[in-house]
Structure 1
Amino acid sequence: MSRTAIVTGSASGIGAAVSDLLREGGWTVVGVDRTPGADHVVDVADPADVRAAVERIVDDVGEVDALVNAAGHYEITPVSDITADALHRMLRVHLGGLRNTARAVLPSMVRRGSGAIVAVTSELAIGGGDGDAHYAAAKGAVIGLVRSLAAEFAGRGVRVNAVAPGPTDTPLLAADSPWRAPDYLATLPNRRLTTPAEVARVVEFLVGDDASFCTGEIVSPNGGAVI
């Protein structure tokens, strides 16, 4: 029987790669994104919007077996220029997005004693970065929430893990991004950006049966950017 996964941020980048790979593996994938054209157009920062979308998804395709939280945004801003609104937006989308989506799917997972949640965070949450303070802080908060959810729900059959990629070749990185600069890439052991497909394979493992004993883990496919 096909298993069902909700993937947020499914319209592009890592979310799109995860959606494609899980579908290839036989999953029924429901994509959620703010971009028109997704299966469900949802603002993950809005708890009511998320709750209503999950209810529609369950009515349409059945119970949710896995949640992959890949929705997010990125910007480079010196800490002195980070406004309160910019900081709050980072937290609403990244931390709030995970909280809202997890809260919507967890009751059913707990009732069935089975489920997997994977949040896409960042190696910047681990190592920090110059000009990335509000992004790194929000992604670091995601790691804290992942580990707390893992501790709370491990005994009830729900696994919660995170993937913390290094700089990844997605539309979030503009053509003139310093992460794409040859001088930066030359500092990496493998001399290139991570691909969305490489991150997707880690997510596929974490939602699958082979990761049945993994919870509270932070897996970082970063090409040696953080060792």
Structure 2
Amino acid sequence: MARVAIVTGGTRGIGEAISLALKDQGVRVAANYAGNDEKARAFTERNGIAAFKWDVGDFAACAAGVKRVEEELGPVEILVNNAGITRDATLHKMTAEMWDEVIRINLGGCFNMAHACYPGMRSRRWGRIVNIGSINGQAGQYGQVNYAAAKSGIHGFTKALAQEGARSGVTVNAVAPGYIDTDMVAAVPPEVLEKIVAKIPVGRLGQASEIARGVAFLCSEEAGFVTGSTLSINGGQHMY
């Protein structure tokens, strides 16, 4: 029987690429999304992958969402925590709301979703959790103290939960993308993006499919001896 995966933020950008990569491995994928119903419908029509709407920053909504997925597709054995937002500003201009929302979604979402999925994985003695961090959680980034703090927290969360899950056959790893050719990066002013690309040794932005292939490996049967690791996919921009 095919394994079941949830990919949060799974209908667009890197999330869509991850959903497709797992589907190509024979996994039954549930792609979570938060708000854009029209794009979620287009995603399902385009890829044949079911989309489920809930806010990953809401603890109760995550429990209910996972329950619904399990009722419709089966026990969740793979979780990819990909959902994330940005609310960029330098610290002296950043509001408490901008800080709270990024922490709530990007870091809180990892806790909420893992809390809903991990007990079942542990009881079945098999599971894969992959958390999407960021180069900016490793190296920091001007104007992103909230985002960098949340992503850095994800890397610590990953290492701690990996220690808890190891004896139960649950691996927990992170992938830290560099600058990837997505809508989020496309919103960066061209003159700023040009400077960013100039600092990437391979001389280009990454592709979402390149992140997805790394995630797919960490979710596979073959990755059972890999846990607590962070796979940096950034074109050599930050060697960590």
Fold shared, TM-score > 0.5 on shorter chain: yes
Aligned-partner residue type, residue 29 of structure 1: V
Cα distance change, pair 193–51 in 1 and its aligned pair in 2 (3 A): same
> Unpaired segments of 5 or more residues in structure 1?
none
Q: Which residue of 1 aligns with 2:144?
A: 132
Structure 2 equivalent of residue 15 of structure 1: 15
Give the deviation of 1:177 after TM superposition.
3.4
Equivalent-residue separation in structure 2 for 1:179 and 1:25 (angstroms):
39
Contact 1:154 1:215 in 2 (8 A): yes
- Asked if 2 retains the 8 angstrom alpha-carbon contact of 1:178 and 1:184, the reply is no
TM-score by length of 1: 0.96
Shift of 1:174: 3.5
Match of 2:68, SS? helix
Match of 1:116 in 2: 128
> Cα distance, 1:139 vs. partner?
0.5
Once the two structures are superposed, the pairs formed by residues 76-225 of structure 1 within 5 Å of their partners are 76-177=88-189, 181-225=193-237
Query: Which structure has the highest helix share of the two?
Result: 2
- Say whether residues 1:25 and 2:25 are aligned partners: yes
Query: Hey, which bits of structure 1, 4+ residues long, moved more than 3 A?
Result: 174-180
Give the SS at the match of 2:31. Answer: strand
For residues 66 and 132 of structure 1, the distance between their equivalents in structure 2, rounded to whole angstroms, comes to 30
Across the two proteins, how many residue pairs are aligned to each other? 227
Q: Closer, same or farther in 2 for the Cα pair 1:50/1:185, shift >3 Å?
A: same
CA deviation after TM superposition for structure 1 residue 209, in Å? 1.4
Deviates more, 1:64-73 or 1:172-181: 172-181
Identity across the alignment (%)? 39
Per the TM alignment, residue 134 of structure 1 is displaced from its structure 2 partner at its CA by: 1.1
- Gaps of at least 5 residues in structure 2 are 42-50
Distance 1:177 1:150, change over 3 A: farther
State TM-score, norm by structure 2: 0.91
